[in-house]
Structure 1
């Protein structure tokens, strides 16, 4: 039987704008992933599962263990809401 579930953990997140401070803070690299060449700005962030593409406007989330990952802006808006 299909059941509904809700996420209960909170995360910290900030929207990626490509600034030098964010690039340094999250050790973001401007390069291709796994030998694939891409045109234009392609940023990668190292996650627990390996390198992940992060685009301008994506959100960089920080989990409970300090891990980071990228979330597309549209998905972020549908999934998360700011807490006070």
Structure 2
């Protein structure tokens, strides 16, 4: 039977800008597309290296694992948790 589910885990996330500090912090490696003179970035994940573009989000799970999420999917799936004062 088809049922509706919602995500219950909280993640940490930041939007990828292509900034060298982010590339270093997440141990990414760039690849150059010589045809378009453009960089492509790859993020190490449990499932293998995944392509990530500026504007995508880098999600960090409870166990420190990272994965990329496209901006439109991220905005449809997650909402900001307000910090308690």
TM superposition score normalised by structure 1: 0.89
Alignment correspondent of 2:7 = 7
1:63 shift after superposition: 0.4
Please give the alpha-carbon distance, in whole angstroms, between the structure 2 residues aligned to 1:43 and 1:25. 13
- The alignment covers a number of residue pairs equal to 80
1:21 shift after superposition: 1.0
Divergent runs of 4+, >4 A: none
Please give the alpha-carbon distance, in whole angstroms, between the structure 1 residues aligned to 2:71 and 2:16. 10
Q: 2:39 aligns with which of 38, 41, 63?
A: 41
Please give the alpha-carbon distance, in whole angstroms, between the structure 2 residues aligned to 1:10 and 1:41. 31
RMSD: 1.5
Where do 5+ consecutive residues of structure 1 fail to align?
none
Aligned 1:1-84 pairs, distance under 5 A:
1-31=1-31, 39=36, 40-84=38-82
Please give the alpha-carbon distance, in whole angstroms, between the structure 2 residues aligned to 1:80 and 1:8. 10
Please give the alpha-carbon distance, in whole angstroms, between the structure 2 residues aligned to 1:2 and 1:63. 27
Higher-strand-fraction structure: 2
Please give the alpha-carbon distance, in whole angstroms, between the structure 1 residues aligned to 2:63 and 2:29. 22
1:38 shift after superposition: 7.5
Where do 5+ consecutive residues of structure 2 fail to align?
none
Whichever of the two has the greater Rg, that structure is: 2
